[in-house]
A and B are shown apart, each in its own frame.
Chain A
Amino acid sequence: MALLEAENVVMRFGGVVALDDASVDVDPGLVTGLIGPNGAGKTTLFNVVTGLLPPTSGRVRFDGVDITRAGVAKRSQMGIARTFQKLEAFNTLSAFDNVRVAVEKNHRTKWKHQRVNDVAHEMLGKVGLDDVSDVTVGTLPTGSARLVELARALACRPRVLLLDEPSSGLNEEETSSIGQLLLELVADKDNDLAVLLVEHDMSFVMGVCTRIHVLDFGKIIAVGTPMEVQGNEAVRAAYLGGDEFRAGYVGVGE
């Protein structure tokens, strides 16, 4: 059984169907991809899984427990962490304090100031932001603010990490180091971490994901390995000609 399962999720906004019977499952120890054209419902699915949106119908299961009705904070405490596509960093706080808020809530370090600070510094170090730890996040460039969100999510000691376009705003070098970090995190048996990744950068997706779900108009149209997904006709059709895919394939091949 998968660690996180979204089963037959339907999400309607008035007449618009954002998710139409979508099912996604995520396993620990690997990075699962969730791709699809703009407006396919990827972020909506994240919102349903983290509890920010109550689905019209369908179930969300985490570690075998039905959490469809659980609150956002409760799910976080169970081990679901996320980043946001449209940045939701704490803009008036420093990068360090952004992470500290998460550490204080998720580590048993009551009143141990030094320990909290150590963990926060460690998380910022993982994403390579040590040198801007005391800078107010609202004044950081978008890419760095995104990394702050990642560090904050990692500080929650997640069992499932949902990343919504982590590479946007980053340059190539930074993107590949994030990819490296993700692979290291899931490879570490102590973490037992599952990652669900929404991403538009195809070479990045194909490079780090073991399994990929493809979402189009709220429906899952394909599930499989990167190779299988790239060969899928429906996926090519969804991506209008599939040039983006071929480019991605070449990227992986190099």
Chain B
Amino acid sequence: MILGLRPPVAFAALLAGVAAVVIAIFNWKGAPVTSETFLVTTYIGLFLGALWAMYATGLVVVYTTTGVFNFAQGAIGVFSAFLYWELHVNRGWHSILALFVVVAMFAPALGVLLDVVIMRRLRTASLVVQLMVTVAIMVLLLSVVGDIWEADTPRRVPYLFGIENGIDLGPSQLPWHRLIVFLVAIAIAVAMRFLLRRTRIGTAMRAVVDNRELAALNGARPNVVSSTSWALGSMLGALGGILIAPELGLDPATLNNVVIIAFAAAAFGALRNLPMAVVGAMLIGLLRAHTGAWLDFGPDYRFAHLAVAPLILLFVVIALPQARLEVGRLAHHLRRHERYTKWWEGLIGCGVVILLAVAFSGGWLDFGVWDPGAWGSRELNSANEAMAFALIGLSLVPLIGWAGQINFAPLAFAGFGAFVYLKLAGDTGNGYWIIVVGLLCAPLGALVALPAARLRGLYLALMTMAFAQAMSLIFFPHSWVMPTIGVGRQFPHIELFGVTFDDRRGFFLVMVSVFAIFVYGLVLLRRSRYGRRWMAINDSQAAAATLGVPVVWTKVVVYAVSASMAGIAGVFWATVSGNVDSVQGFDLLIGFNIVLLVAAAGVSIPMAGIFLIFIPLFTGLGHRLEDAGNVGYLVTLLDIMTTYGPGLMVLGMVFNPRGAIFEMGRGFAPILPWRSDARAEIAAENAQKREPEIGELGIERPFTPEEVIAIDRRLGILDDVVPKEGYGTSRS
């Protein structure tokens, strides 16, 4: 113990303190610090903190009572803020009435709906499915907002009681709105703490997450409890969204990103401790306000002051105590014989993919939509983007699909890969540097995973998100990293084996070949001891550790492999676009969509990467339809598929966690001549379906001989003696 702190906490605090002092000294703006400006900055910080505390409270309440970490918390706020704008501003309702309708009627209804339809079913699901589904809900809600309230109309949500009315503080004014927000946030946090700790329903809520069956035996009603939690969490999200909208403006992406700060605040309270989460929110608020007021990071780090939350999350992760090893969860949807792709099957599959690509790009394959003769640059560009997406998607297969770890930052790794390549091969485009890119991205992946690998999986997910945000705020905007000045191509055409692939068709084939190599590598990896070990830590970390598998190290290695693949994919992606728009190119939301699509396709299967082709394919299809003057419902349909497709498909994971490709593969396999095992499996399933339904244990009528055999078979005690008569009849 150092000053009453556990060593890791003391270490993290020291690290954070030193970092803060160093950053402050080197970036001091030089503005005079007066007590007035200091006070004003402080109150702005507390106000911001209060808003984030509201979000964080909602997160903590839902997490402690249902065990699900709700990534859609911010999106619920966005939707509510827009609804409030619609009612209050657009339709002229009184603000109190609109507030009541949105916060007290719409939000709880949404929460209960989410719980009944989706969340309840996620109780025993894996972390991957839980997180993917809440992320899908986030993306869907944002898409709905974008479709209902089109972005071209400027909108403002007014302050409650106007910005000009408030308490006079001398140099400035404290508007009622901000004062109320602060008080309401504190009141809510206190009330929630009281609810969880001191009331009957609160005790039941906490008990249900620990042991649902036991709590139910003691009179708690688990379904009522979880619906209550979701209603409460959703109300808090709605309130936060409506109150923060006047400050940030009514923009879905900006409003939604607020939730990342709330994640950091919640992590400050170890995701369960409400008072500490509020303290964390206030701390981030104060740091943000004071950084903005006194520090100037210069043009290269112009967004750095926004990166407070990800940095806080990093320090929290360092400070948290080592988690107990995760024990196994129930595994669902297992098949009696799991089958891994054989090496020669992988070879054949990859060969077919390459042949198809050659035929496709050469114009020999016509899907009725593409004009084979004039396969123009736009279509090829779409196809190239698709391949780049698919490569990035492949990097998630070993990580999410096998080891069960989450990575929301594939694009950040891809961007880093692109950066390394630009610096190494920027002049010549020599393709051999790509190998070096892969080697340099691996340590970055390990570095990101290292602090959080000893914690529960959720922290790794949050950590990758914080990393993605920190990269896009601090690293990518730097002029040295991604020069955006000037027009024209900054990324060289890749040169391999003495050939420069400067036409899109050739480059497409290069990427398809790389895709095939990646897939084949994954097939081999899956069959190797490493693939097995990664699947094992996904099933039970505790058991893996007792067999001598170093769990933390294994996780770090998987991240390194994944980052390395993503980095290589990033080189191709950057080469496709030629120009890297420094910030938007590596947007977090696109990252979410890639992760979602891979997950929906069935992230444990390498070929799932192919699914990512749908995004640009639909866009390309839309272009072509529009060119053909076919601007009707078809284009709209494609639009809807691109916007809502990934999210909707992931919701399917609630019922089918293994993904779409898996089911398709099951249907497809029996056709292959060498897959007699698949045919046998289907035959066995059909035989089971034909087996007679066993009634109420022979109460209704005596068992027939067939039923006796069926029961014996089910109990696994089938012997060769078949009774001549039913047991029941012989007894009577």
Contact = CB atoms under 8 A, between A and B. Distances in A.
A142 B609 CA distance: 36
A152 B337 CA distance: 19
Contact of B337 (A91, A135, A153): A135
Interface string B538-555: 111011111111110000
Contact of A92 (B324, B325, B539, B548): B539
Interface residues of B, number: 30
B327 A90 contact: no
B152 interface: no
A156 interface: yes
Interface of A: 50-53, 71-73, 76-77, 80-82, 84, 86-94, 97-98, 100-102, 104-106, 116, 134-136, 138-139, 141, 149, 152-153, 155-156
Given A89-B328, A91-B328, A105 B548 contact: yes
B700 interface: no
Contacts of A84: 542-543
B599 to A, nearest CB: 16
A135 B547 CA distance: 21
Given A139-B334, A141-B716, A149-B543, 6 more contacts: A73-B548, A76-B547, A91-B328, A92-B334, A104-B529, A104-B533
Given A73-B549, A76-B548, A106-B548, A90 B334 contact: no
Contacts of A89: 328, 539-540, 543
A127 to B, nearest CB: 16
The residue in A82, A92, A97, A116 that gathers the most chain B C-beta atoms within 10 A of its C-beta is A92
A87 B330 CA distance: 10
A154 B542 CA distance: 17
B542 A105 contact: no
B536 A88 contact: no
Contacts of B544: 90, 101
A47 to B, nearest CB: 9
B335 interface: yes
A243 B543 CA distance: 35
A90 B542 contact: no
B731 interface: no
B536 A90 contact: yes
B535 interface: yes
Contacts of A52: 324-325, 542, 545-546
Chain B binding surface, main DSSP class: loop
B331 interface: yes
30 contacts: A50-B546, A72-B551, A73-B549, A73-B551, A76-B546, A81-B547, A86-B327, A88-B328, A89-B540, A90-B328, A90-B535, A91-B328, A91-B540, A92-B334, A92-B535, A92-B539, A93-B535, A93-B539, A97-B535, A100-B532, A105-B533, A105-B547, A134-B337, A135-B336, A139-B336, A141-B716, A149-B543, A152-B543, A156-B547, A156-B548
B545 A72 contact: yes
A94 B550 CA distance: 21
A72 B551 CA distance: 9
Contacts of A91: 328, 330-331, 334, 539-540
Given A88-B327, A90-B540, A72 B546 contact: yes
B700 to A, nearest CB: 28
Contact of B546 (A53, A81, A98, A139): A81
B551 A93 contact: no
B338 interface: yes
B532 A104 contact: yes
Interface in B299-333: 324-325, 327-328, 330-331
Interface in B333-363: 334-338
Contacts of A76: 545-548
Nearest to A171: B717
A136 B335 contact: yes
The residue in B334, B538, B551 that gathers the most chain A C-beta atoms within 10 A of its C-beta is B334
B76 to A, nearest CB: 34
A116 B532 CA distance: 13
Contacts of A138: 331, 334
Interface in B548-573: 548-551
A102 B336 contact: no
Contacts of B536: 90, 93, 98, 101
Contacts of B535: 90, 92-93, 97
Contacts of A149: 543
Nearest to B338: A136
B502 to A, nearest CB: 42
Given A88-B328, A90-B540, A90-B543, A101 B532 contact: yes
Nearest to A88: B543
